[in-house]
Amino acid sequence: MSDYPLPTAAVEPRRGRRRFSLIWIIPIVTLLIGLWLVWDTLSKRGPTLTITFDSAEGLLAGQSHIKHKEVDLGTVTAVRLTKDMDHVAVTVQLTREATPLITNQTRFWVVRPRFFAGSISGLSTLLSGSYIDLLPSKTGTKSQTHFTGLETPPVLQTDVPGRTFMLKADRVGSVTLGSPVFYRDLQVGQILGWDIGDMARSVTIHAFVRAPFDSYVHDESRFWNASGLSVKLGAEGVRIQVQSIDALLLGGIAFDTPASADDAPPSPDLRNFPLYTDEDAADQAAFRRRVPFAAYFSGSVAGLAPGSPVSFQGIKVGQVTNVDIMYDPKTDSILTPVHFEIEPERIKNIQIAANRGPLENTRLLVQHGLRAQIQSANLITGQMQVALTIMPNAKPAELSLEGNTIVIPTVPGTFAGLTDTATALMAKVGALPFDQIGNSLSGTFQGLDKLANGPQAKQAITSLSVTLQSAQELVKHMDAGMGPTMKKLPALTAGLEAALTHLSQVLASANTGYGDNSHFSRQLDRLMTQLNGMAQSFRALSDLLTRHPEALIRGRTGGVQ
């Protein structure tokens, strides 16, 4: 054995178990959060759809969204071309909330700024960007992940109580999605959209009217386009009409129901109505019965056109439908036939005479002097009208019939009559011998000048001046001579009155001495009466001369009292 000692293993004392390090908490929490985010994302994720469009204009992967009623329902994740390179396939990841909305009847379209049918829509996307909108369907039951998108917005739907009416029109005009529907200037609904039908010859507009206003729509109701600003220059002058600010900016449709149809039942849902261009056209459509007439004019019809009014005794009863020009071989002249329609329903109580028929009724009126005449409807605009007027002194005329058209005899228009009168007057004026009249006037004026400036006229004026001066001097002398005499008249009158008083006293004494019944007494009575009258005459003369001394020369006139 070796003298060296063998090594021995050192045995350490036994320790407890190793503890968990706190540094592992951070990655564990991070892992848990990541798992929770994955679960949350997967739990909120809905189906993934592929929608095919003709163009991906405005759509960007990771930025564009899919919305419904402004609620975000998903995001566009990819945009790529299809295998045939003719379309664009857009992949959309929806949220779980959108799952019930996706069926085989769901429709998709891109909302972007667009100009369609005369209106601009999608202006809000100028700031937010284009997005995909969807329209769910209650009738769809099967799930589907591949869809073909619409290039134009579909007809919308609404859950508000009410009814939708179908309006037939030749064009959409300014009406767009969401345009208001008016009833007596109140907004009672909106436009849901439109359909193109009849080989693109007409448009069907879906107009929704909410309850309770939908009960005011009857089969006799009339709808018209109330969009924008209506400016009309016609027989009534210049008319400017705006339904509302909304209709001016967004377009709109208005409707009304005649009072005679208020008791009729409301129209059912999806009832078809014609859409008139304006309110006047809608009012015109209320008169369904129209009788065709014609009138042949030989003069000018300037200012007369289709749509011009036809009046009877100044009240509109119809309108012109056509204006032509033709050659008449019978008279070898050019005539202008004007065709127009009369609406008998405009005349109240016309049903009383309806049994005779329009031809017989017109014949009776023609016998009483009914004639067609072109008159001015508006002096400012120059528009003319066909006026049906009763002329008692009109020449006899016969009524004629061309097929179903009644031909009414005519008379020259008011302007034509004025023109003829003015022409005749100018002809008479032109026939006047102005040269001879001028020469005669010139000779007359020369004679007057010689008479006024001749020596005889001057001598007559001089003699007249001398005579007037002599008369003035005579008046002055008479006034100076009569002055003292007039001053003595009051004294003379007083003396006469005193003499009469004394004489009365003497007569009284004589009457006492000689008796009342003597001849002397009676003679004295007569003398006293005469003297009394003479005294009164002198008093009147004195008063007259005092007030009017010129009476001695002129005598008593009617003005002297």
- pLDDT per position as a tens digit, 347-392: 877 777 778 888 888 888 888 888 998 888 776 667 788 999 888 8
Last residue of a domain, one of 284, 303, 328: 284
* pLDDT higher than 80, residue 396: yes
| CB environment 166-178: b (16+ within 10 A), e (fewer) | bbebeebbbbbbe
For the chain, state the CA radius of gyration. Answer: 58
Residues 166 and 199 in one domain: yes
Residues 300 and 400 in one domain: yes
Over the stretch 211-265, which tens digit does the pLDDT of each residue have? 899 999 999 899 998 875 555 555 455 555 555 555 555 578 899 988 777 788 8
Secondary structure, 3-state, 282-335: HHHCCCCCCEEEEEEECCCCCCCCCCCEEEECCEEEEEEEEECCEEECCCCEEE
Evaluate whether residue 14 is within a structural domain.
Answer: no
Evaluate whether residue 428 is within a structural domain.
Answer: no
β-bridge partners, 291: 342
Percent of the chain with pLDDT over 70: 63
Residues 314 and 270 in one domain: no
Q: How many domains does the chain have?
A: 4
Cis ω before 212 (30° cut-off from 0): yes
Residues spanned by the domain of 497: 470-554
Evaluate whether residue 27 is within a structural domain.
Answer: no
Residues 262 and 313 in one domain: no
Q: Please, what is the average pLDDT of the chain?
A: 76
Evaluate whether residue 460 is within a structural domain.
Answer: no
Residues 270 and 338 in one domain: no
| Residues 483, 480: Cα–Cα separation, whole Å | 6
Over the stretch 474-517, which tens digit does the pLDDT of each residue have? 656 656 665 565 566 566 566 666 666 665 665 555 555 545 55
Beta carbons of 130 and 111 less than 8 angstroms apart? yes
Residues 188 and 138 in one domain: no
Evaluate whether residue 439 is within a structural domain.
Answer: no
Residues 297 and 280 in one domain: no
Over the stretch 33-52, which tens digit does the pLDDT of each residue have? 888 777 766 666 788 889 99
Evaluate whether residue 451 is within a structural domain.
Answer: no
Counting Cα atoms < 13 Å in the Cβ hemisphere of 98 gives 27
As given in the structure block, the two tokens for residue 132 are: 């995909």
Residues 130 and 216 in one domain: no
How many angstroms separate the Cα of 329 from the Cα of each of 299, 332, 335, 403, 434?
A: 17, 5, 10, 20, 44
| Residues 561, 552: Cα–Cα separation, whole Å | 14
